[in-house]
Structure 1
């Protein structure tokens, strides 16, 4: 297996910083189309332990109520056992991790919340060859479902996976369905997309090309959804339902999300770790929805694994 050298790691870093900039610029254009001048604020930071990052956050926009597009490249002097449960062979090793992670919470309930991340992890156990892998994916969490959104989202995921193997989309879609599952609610977080971790079964260059395709694919998939819905009117009742469903997002991120847990276990920067939280969320005790309502349809028909490409075409 080809191991990355310092030049390889620098190329990944440069791609991630460029990806962050391009995503922020494209989303700022959605603000301009909503007659808003809201922009992503830049917050560069350093870690005492080594490394740092660039946080870019937009708040109180017309299109985006809160969005965080975060780059980090951190050094870890000694991986704690709590953070290496799936890879006990690297406990205590030096490591570096870099990635772009984002969550976008639109204001309009007709635009889904979206999440994406792409990342590289390299551990250096003493006296051994480096151990590396890529991870990432993207997923969509709608409140009021438009089948065209779900279909185009999964079509983009399918198409970007296709050059890497005929089973990649189906495998990484299933992984996404399994991963973004709220066990205590017995429901999916949304309508899925792609998820993968520990990716090193190909050579380094092919794995790097795949995360480039995933990162670029997120932007290509989310922009048409914004453009279809950002001028769509909504009611206060729909806004209330959006806040209620955001509560599920909070539950997932705090209970199950590996990135959140890894950041907390390795002494990460708390503002960056919790930037995925929505600015507003709500919880209700056993709410009831009309049998034929869009709210009931979301829960009954969409928050479960489905073969979207074949069912919606």
Structure 2
């Protein structure tokens, strides 16, 4: 294993990009195959892809990524699938936040590298659940770790959908240890809780952060399986629910629930805070916000 993790960084960044490509292709296929039910006669949606750049304080290159956003499709009202690879020096606020989390050496050397994939999907049909997924690797000269997970955010809950989503998470995590799924599920329940509303933002999923067992290969393999779990957990739910008719009351419930989602991402989400604090493209960071939302 290299001292500066060059090989490991390249492998991780390549994996996140390959997962992005697979998901984008699968989502466009959903758009093409939707030929029955609401909006079946609309034009299939396509991702608009743009490069994002991050500049250091002195104007030098500090990495970037790809922002892929689809708006106004048959199935997806708005979905973003972003990948990034950024590096440089952490600013003072981010430096303090990392030090507070126990990352060693931040005071003496705030150099960092980070790569990951981030996805949020807001659906046309209120019966189709919104969903979030991300996985990432973070490196400093003093430490490295993985993080991420996925969680389901239906505005109209179906118990069988929740069971399927969690079942796929468990199936992909159990090979890494029978205790992992219960721990990561509990972590997600705590992380995606909205204190000022006194409730979770959805029906949960799995979440981890600061994952460093000392075995990079094992932790990377776990992170990959968290990513691999996403499509089999989510696609069958969309394929089943996208043909259902909806009422004005259903759409109202969806817009109000999106308000809850927006509140969480703007007030509590660690990734949003980190992205804005480190100068990443604000449009890419805020891609997670829904196109329309409502508060009552």
TM above 0.5: yes
Shift of 1:62: 1.3
Q: Secondary structure at the match of 1:166?
A: coil
Rate the CA distance shift 1:179–1:109 in 2: closer, same or farther, 3 A: same
What is the CA–CA distance in structure 2 between the aligned matches of 1:253 and 1:174, rounded to whole Å?
19
What is the CA–CA distance in structure 2 between the aligned matches of 1:234 and 1:62, rounded to whole Å?
14
Match 2:128 to one of 111, 115, 140: 111
Q: What TM-score, normalized to structure 2?
A: 0.91
Shift of 1:225: 0.5
What is the CA–CA distance in structure 2 between the aligned matches of 1:241 and 1:166, rounded to whole Å?
37
What is the CA–CA distance in structure 2 between the aligned matches of 1:10 and 1:156, rounded to whole Å?
28
Indicate yes or no: 2:80 matched with 1:65.
no
Q: Is the 8 A contact 1:58 1:66 kept in 2?
A: yes
Q: Is the 8 A contact 1:79 1:95 kept in 2?
A: no
* Corresponding residue of 1:46: 53
* Corresponding residue of 1:137: 149
Match 1:263 to one of 261, 275, 282: 275
What is the CA–CA distance in structure 2 between the aligned matches of 1:252 and 1:57, rounded to whole Å?
21
Indicate yes or no: 2:173 matched with 1:166.
no
* Corresponding residue of 1:9: 9
* Corresponding residue of 2:243: 231
Uncovered stretches (5+) of structure 1, i.e. residues with no partner: 125-129, 285-313
Q: Secondary structure at the match of 1:281?
A: coil
* Corresponding residue of 1:176: 188
Q: Secondary structure at the match of 2:104?
A: helix
Shift of 1:118: 0.3
Q: Secondary structure at the match of 2:128?
A: coil
**For residues 21-53 of structure 1, what are the alpha-carbon distances to aligned partners after superposition, in whole Å with 9 as ceiling and x for unaligned?**
110110111111225321111111222221110
Q: What TM-score, normalized to structure 1?
A: 0.86
1:52-91, aligned counterparts within 5 Å? 52-80=64-92, 81-84=95-98, 85-87=100-102, 89-91=104-106
What is the CA–CA distance in structure 1 between the aligned matches of 2:122 and 2:284, rounded to whole Å?
16
What is the CA–CA distance in structure 2 between the aligned matches of 1:108 and 1:155, rounded to whole Å?
23
Rate the CA distance shift 1:250–1:133 in 2: closer, same or farther, 3 A: same
**For residues 280-305 of structure 1, what are the alpha-carbon distances to aligned partners after superposition, in whole Å with 9 as ceiling and x for unaligned?**
00001xxxxxxxxxxxxxxxxxxxxx
Q: Secondary structure at the match of 2:101?
A: coil
What is the CA–CA distance in structure 1 between the aligned matches of 2:284 and 2:214, rounded to whole Å?
31
Rate the CA distance shift 1:200–1:4 in 2: closer, same or farther, 3 A: farther
Uncovered stretches (5+) of structure 2, i.e. residues with no partner: 35-39, 57-61
Q: Is the 8 A contact 2:136 2:148 kept in 1?
A: yes
Q: Is the 8 A contact 1:71 1:101 kept in 2?
A: yes
Q: Is the 8 A contact 1:77 1:95 kept in 2?
A: yes
Q: Is the 8 A contact 2:103 2:143 kept in 1?
A: no
What is the CA–CA distance in structure 1 between the aligned matches of 2:90 and 2:132, rounded to whole Å?
29
Rate the CA distance shift 1:79–1:233 in 2: closer, same or farther, 3 A: same
Q: Secondary structure at the match of 1:152?
A: helix
What is the CA–CA distance in structure 2 between the aligned matches of 1:63 and 1:54, rounded to whole Å?
22
What is the Cα-based RMSD across aligned positions, in Å?
1.5
